[in-house]
């Protein structure tokens, strides 16, 4: 059976997902320029780093991107 090239994979992307060492961070060709994103979103890790450097709290970030993030996506050592 031929697979429809427009079918999305289980992560919601229609391109191959490149896993990283972090369970919630992936790279997908054509999404955020192929740079690291939070899985299931198009939100770049670099965007979150900028928020962190600006001393935004997790609550601030979640308020700014409510449709893209869940608190479970964040883990602190």
pLDDT tens digits for range 12-56: 667 888 999 998 899 998 889 999 998 888 889 999 899 999 999
Q: What is the pLDDT of residue 7?
A: 47
Q: What is the pLDDT of residue 2?
A: 43
Burial class (CB in 10 A: 0-12, 13-18, 19+), 17: middle
State how far the Cα of 46 lies from the Cα of 9, in Å rounded to an integer: 24
As beta bridge partners, residue 71 has none
Residue with tokens 């997908």: 28
State how far the Cα of 4 lies from the Cα of 8, in Å rounded to an integer: 9
């Amino acid at each position: 059976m031929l697979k429809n090239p427009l079918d999305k994979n289980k992560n919601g992307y229609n391109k191959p997902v490149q896993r990283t060492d972090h369970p919630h961070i992936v790279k997908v060709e054509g999404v955020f320029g192929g740079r690291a994103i939070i899985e299931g979103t198009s939100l770049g890790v670099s965007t979150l780093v900028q928020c962190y450097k600006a001393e935004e709290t997790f609550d601030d970030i979640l308020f700014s991107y409510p449709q893209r993030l869940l608190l479970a996506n964040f883990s602190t050592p």
